[in-house]
């Protein structure tokens, strides 16, 4: 999983009580920064969505600046995350302070010429009028301020050089920003908006969730990409169809899929290893970081581990090339594009670079020794040292030969380390020793001497050896830096690999049970609909699950469906089922249905279940209205709305009135809506409305005697049927829950009396408006 550090800055408008947020969050697993600034709504839905899409494990903020509402939200939403307030300026740096420190540091300086350049991802946040980039751009100050908190904390953890030097800065835009700009027409945003409420209500993540069913990925980076696809399903028809074609071809080629999974399952987290190698190759980090100066007790062990990571990465990229070869004869446009080498496809040319590093040094020896000894031609400085040592050896050999000729006998060098290159002369030849010879020691039959020339040769040799040791000490870093020079190439290859892993995962899922490829429409012909035949809930794998047909805005169904039925009859399950199938369709997956046709959905809204928020001081009804307000404010004709029992949190009359008003608003908008209710008076009001379809979850009542309600047995059929359900059969639920029969009997008597009173009121109102014939008919029913 990604481990996010989130830095949060808030600016509250006291008049409107609406906050603006600056955010900076880092995926510390792979070293990617995300910066953003946005105005939120009263429910803080954009902040909640960010926390749901990118759940942080550590949250920092400037002490005393977050509102009580925001603090409660963070504490309630992220109970397990570490929350750390930092002091203003001394710890949580301002926008101008952090830009100054980044400019003065070595994070963005090139190694070869020390020239400074802001990363491309940061440039949109800098004022164009400031040539040095020390001033934040308009409406970006909160985002840069949030970056200040992140950089300070990373510096405290000695991680700033490692992460900042990668220069991976991205812009975070709330998902509904781009969707809002496309409300007026068919210009869909690139991705569907799924907010925090929908993630929770549809159970996209966690136990028994959608990702738990779809995630058959073999790699860590594939799993991260699948989560991203689920959080942001595509709204581009061509993208979805390309994915569908790829998944379909993979399903038909099980032999290739199995071979591909066998290779993928051996791969480590290459994305994370890439980040580690980049950090190890950073010269500034090795110079300024304590690791670069420390003499470690287990230094050789640590060094060996780093080299093992590097050689493993190289070896696994070799496996990646074998993986790519498996798809040579595939026809899918997405697969061919992602597995054909440039320029015919988009997969980068790795072979030449891998061959270079394969022969650059002895991998096994490097893993054994803990340092890299490059082969000739790999490192110019190391080659020059070897040349210098070779020249010294030649000079030493010439010197020794000259001494042999002078003394006329065999002469050898004696000594070690700093006392090397003493010449050992037999005593019989000592008479030939001249004034330039300095006696250093002797043994029986021999005397040893130094000359000025020998001392000079020793000094040259020791300098060359020191230079060699220095070069070798830095060679690991330099080889890693060479590897990181092509960071973009390696990263592109990993992204293509992650996409293939996700497609294979979806293909593996498609093999289980009755599945179909959804038919996707973009709405360009003016038709916006959903038609699902024999649909099943993706996360319920029971063999006896009852499939259902669901249609919205088709020839035989309105865009708005009022759904009734007994308690526990499957209404909420059906609504979640439609939402999940829609998400699956737009990520390119097969869906559990015999057929499925969907016009692209720009956003899914959900109001499911009874949720109160005690810690935030919000009742069930307030939570209901807050979620409903977001729907009414942001829904478009291309949205899917799932509303479950709206109005249950207040009195029957207030709840019915609010539910009716919401139904009116959404039917006028003509967005696709499933609306479940137990308000039968509401159902009566829309019985003849052609813009509303009435449906219910069928049940079978085995005993339905007026006076023996405790004996009434309801069998749930879990089948969506036409028309409204006459009763909710709440007494059956009470019986199943163990409520004493005397209580249910008394409750039934009260219910009958209340129902009669309501019916009499309806008849009286109708009589007041009826003509003669209608009046006689109404009197006959009394």
- Give DSSP secondary structure letters for 592-619: SSSEEEEEPPSEEEEE-S---BTTTTB-
Give the end-to-end CA distance of the chain in Å, rounded to a whole number: 66
Res 140 pLDDT > 60 = yes
User: How many Å apart are CA 523 and CA 529, to the nearest integer?
Assistant: 9
If you average pLDDT over each of 394-398, 713-717, 768-772, which comes out highest? 394-398
| Predicted local confidence at residue 652, as pLDDT | 67
The pairs formed by 648-655 with CB atoms below 8 angstroms and a separation of 24 or more are 648/610, 648/620, 648/624, 648/678, 649/610, 649/619, 649/620, 649/621, 649/622, 649/623, 649/624, 650/621, 652/679, 655/679
- Rounded mean pLDDT of the chain? 86
Chain segment 338-393, per-residue pLDDT in tens: 999 999 999 999 999 999 999 999 999 989 988 888 888 888 888 898 898 999 99
The DSSP code sequence of 65-96 is: TS-HHHHHHHHHH-TTSEEEEE-BTTTB--HH
**Is the domain of 333 the same as that of 226?**
yes
Report the pLDDT averaged over residues 284-290.
58
706 found inside a domain = yes
Verify that 723 and 770 share a domain, yes or no: no
Question: Among the listed ranges 258-272, 292-306, 319-333, which one has the minimum average pLDDT value?
Answer: 292-306
Residues 301 and 393 in one domain: no
pTM for the model stands at 0.84
pLDDT value for 727: 66
pLDDT at 711: 58
Which residue, of 471, 496, 529, is where some domain finishes? 471
Mean pLDDT in residue range 742-766:
69
With CA atoms as reference, report the closest residue to 341 among 365, 324, 362, 363. Answer: 324
Per the domain annotation, does 204 fall within a domain? no
Residue 145, pLDDT score: 97
Q: Domain of 406: which CATH number?
A: 1.10.1420.10
Q: Does residue 16 sit in the same domain as residue 115?
A: yes
The H or E element that residue 9 is part of is: strand 4-13
Task: State the residue range of the domain holding 8.
Answer: 4-171
Tell me the pairing of strands 595-599 and 412-414.
Answer: unpaired
Choice among 43-57, 257-271, 559-573, 617-631 with the minimum mean pLDDT: 617-631
Query: Which of 72-86, 123-137, 727-741, 743-757 is predicted least confidently?
Result: 727-741
3-state secondary structure of 408: coil
Give the per-residue pLDDT at 283: 66
Residue 692 covered by a domain: yes
- The pLDDT value given to residue 437: 87
Query: How many angstroms separate the CA atoms of 221 and 270, rounded?
Result: 8
Mean pLDDT to the nearest integer, 123-152: 93
* Most confident range, picked from 16-20, 255-259, 404-408: 255-259
Q: Which residues of 385-397 are buried (b: 16+ CB within 10 A; e: fewer)?
A: bbebbeebeeebe
**pLDDT for 214 beyond 60:** yes
* H helical segments located in 265-379: 270-280, 283-288, 290-293, 299-325, 333-339, 351-360, 363-369
What are the φ and ψ backbone dihedral angles of 114, each rounded to 5 degrees?
60, 20
**Cβ pair 507, 225 in contact under 8 A:** no
**What is the C-alpha to C-alpha distance for residues 564 and 549, in angstroms, rounded to an integer?**
16
What's residue 182's pLDDT? 46
166 and 111 in one domain?
yes
What would the pLDDT profile of 454-481 be if each residue is shown by its tens digit?
Answer: 889 999 989 998 888 888 888 888 899 8
pLDDT > 90? residue 427: no
Q: Report pLDDT digits (tens) over 512-524.
A: 878 999 999 998 8
Do residues 374 and 403 both lie within one domain? no
Comparison of pLDDT for 216 and 706, the residue scoring more:
216
For 677-688, the pLDDT digits (tens) are 888 778 888 888
Examine the pLDDT at 216 and tell me if it is beyond 50.
Answer: yes
Give me the pLDDT at residue 612, please.
44
Q: What is the CATH number of the domain that holds 607?
A: 3.40.50.300
Task: Centre a 10 Å sphere on the Cβ of residue 427 and count the other Cβ atoms it contains.
Answer: 11
pLDDT at 186 over 60: no
CA–CA dist 55, 59 (Å, integer): 10
Domain match, 609 and 747 both: no
In a domain, 715, yes or no: yes
Helix (H, G, I), strand (E, B) or coil at 697: strand
Please report whether residue 366 resides in a domain: yes
Q: Is residue 746 part of a domain?
A: yes
CA 371 from chain centre, in angstroms, equals 35
Q: Give the residue, 767 or 77, on which the prediction is more confident.
A: 77
* Residue 297, in any domain of the structure: yes
Provide the pLDDT confidence category of residue 733 given band limits of 50, 70 and 90. low
Same domain as 431, residue 372:
no
Could you tell me if 33 and 113 lie in one domain? yes
Query: Does position 252 have pLDDT exceeding 90, yes or no?
Result: yes
Looking at residue 769, what is its pLDDT?
65
Please report the pLDDT score of residue 338 as a whole number: 97
Domain count, the chain: 5
- Flag whether 735 is in a domain: no
Contacts of 333 (CB under 8 A, 6+ apart): 242, 245
Last residue of a domain, one of 414, 447, 471: 471
Contacts of 33 (CB under 8 A, 6+ apart): 24, 25, 26, 121, 147, 150, 163, 168, 169, 170
Q: Of residues 466 and 286, which shows the higher confidence score?
A: 466
Note whether 684 and 747 are same-domain residues.
no
- Examine the domain organization and report whether 152 and 297 are in the same domain: no
Tens digits of residue pLDDT in 610-640 = 554 444 445 666 777 878 888 888 899 999 9
298 and 150 within one domain: no
Percentage of the chain surpassing pLDDT 70?
86
Report residue 275 CA to chain centroid gap. Answer: 16
- Cis amide leading into 343 (omega within 30): yes
Instruction: Decide which of 602 and 115 is more confident.
Output: 602
């Amino acid at each position: 999983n990604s481990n996010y550090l989130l830095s949060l800055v808030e600016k509250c408008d006291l008049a409107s009580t609406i906050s603006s947020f600056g955010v900076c969050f880092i995926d510390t697993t792979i070293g990617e920064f995300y910066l953003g600034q946005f105005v939120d709504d009263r429910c803080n839905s954009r902040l909640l969505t960010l926390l749901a899409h990118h759940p942080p494990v550590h949250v920092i903020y400037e002490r005393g600046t977050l509102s009580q509402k925001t603090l409660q939200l963070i504490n309630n939403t992220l109970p397990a995350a570490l929350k750390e307030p930092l002091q203003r300026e001394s710890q949580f740096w301002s926008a101008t302070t952090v830009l100054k420190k980044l400019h003065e540091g070595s994070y963005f300086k090139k190694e070869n010429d020390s020239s400074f350049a802001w990363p491309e991802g940061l440039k949109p946040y800098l004022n164009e009028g400031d040539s040095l980039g020390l001033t934040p751009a308009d409406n970006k100050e909160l985002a840069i301020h949030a970056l200040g908190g992140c950089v300070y904390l990373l510096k405290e953890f000695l991680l700033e050089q490692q992460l900042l030097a990668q220069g991976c800065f991205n812009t975070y835009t709330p998902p509904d920003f781009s969707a809002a700009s496309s409300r007026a027409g068919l210009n869909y945003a690139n991705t569907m908006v799924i907010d925090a409420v929908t993630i929770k209500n549809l159970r996209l993540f966690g136990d028994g969730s959608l990702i738990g069913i779809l995630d058959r990925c073999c790699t860590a980076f594939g799993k991260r990409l699948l989560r991203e696809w689920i959080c942001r399903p595509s709204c581009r028809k061509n993208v979805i169809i390309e994915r569908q074609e790829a998944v379909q071809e993979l399903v038909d080629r099980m032999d290739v899929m199995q071979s591909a999974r066998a290779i993928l399952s051996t791969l480590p987290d290459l994305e994370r290893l890439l980040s580690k190698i980049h950090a190890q190759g950073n010269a500034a980090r090795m110079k300024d970081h304590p690791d670069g100066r420390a003499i470690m007790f287990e230094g050789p062990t640590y060094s060996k581990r780093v080299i093992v990571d590097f050689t493993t990465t190289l070896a696994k990229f070799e496996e990646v090339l074998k993986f790519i070869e498996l798809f040579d004869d595939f026809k899918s446009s997405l697969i061919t594009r992602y597995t054909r080498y440039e320029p015919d496809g988009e997969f980068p040319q790795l072979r030449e670079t891998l061959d270079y590093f394969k022969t650059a040094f002895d991998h096994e020896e490097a893993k054994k020794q803990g340092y890299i000894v490059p082969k000739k031609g790999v490192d110019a400085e190391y080659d020059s040292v070897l040349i210098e040592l070779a020249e010294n050896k030649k000079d030493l050999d010439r010197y020794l030969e000259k001494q042999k000729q002078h003394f006329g006998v065999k002469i050898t060098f004696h000594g070690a380390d700093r006392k090397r290159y003493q010449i050992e002369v037999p005593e019989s030849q000592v008479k030939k020793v001249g004034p330039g010879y300095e006696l250093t020691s002797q043994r029986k039959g021999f005397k040893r001497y130094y000359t000025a020339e020998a001392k000079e040769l020793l000094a040259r040799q020791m300098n060359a050896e020191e230079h060699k040791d220095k070069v070798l000490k830095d060679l690991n870093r330099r080889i890693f830096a060479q590897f990181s020079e092509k960071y973009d190439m390696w990263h592109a290859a990993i992204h293509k690999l992650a996409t293939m892993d996700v497609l294979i995962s979806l293909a593996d899922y498609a093999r289980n049970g009755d599945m179909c490829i959804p038919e996707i429409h973009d709405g360009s012909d003016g038709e916006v609909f959903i038609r699902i035949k024999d649909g099943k809930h993706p996360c319920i794998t029971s063999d006896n699950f009852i499939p259902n047909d669901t249609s919205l805005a088709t020839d035989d169904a309105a865009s708005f469906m009022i759904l009734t039925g007994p308690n526990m009859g499957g209404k909420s399950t059906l609504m979640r089922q439609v939402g999940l199938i829609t998400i699956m369709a737009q990520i390119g997956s097969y869906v559990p249905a015999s057929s499925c046709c969907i016009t692209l959905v720009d956003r899914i809204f959900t109001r499911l279940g009874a949720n109160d928020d005690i810690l935030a001081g919000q009742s069930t009804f307030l939570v209901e209205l807050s979620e409903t307000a977001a729907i009414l404010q942001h829904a478009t004709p291309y949205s899917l709305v799932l509303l479950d029992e709206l109005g249950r949190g207040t009195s029957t009359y207030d709840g019915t009135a609010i539910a009716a008003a919401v139904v009116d608003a959404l039917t006028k908008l003509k967005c696709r809506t499933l609306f479940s209710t137990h308000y039968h008076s509401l159902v009566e009001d829309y019985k003849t409305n052609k813009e509303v379809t009435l449906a219910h979850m069928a049940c079978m009542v085995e005993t339905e005697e007026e006076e023996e309600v405790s004996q009434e047995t309801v069998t749930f059929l879990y089948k969506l049927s036409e028309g409204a359900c006459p009763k909710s059969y709440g007494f059956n639920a009470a019986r199943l829950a163990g409520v004493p029969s005397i209580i249910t009997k008394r409750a039934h008597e009260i219910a009958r009396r209340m129902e009669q009173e309501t019916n009499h009121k309806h008849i009286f109102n109708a009589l007041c408006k009826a003509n003669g014939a209608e009046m006689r008919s109404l009197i006959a029913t009394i």
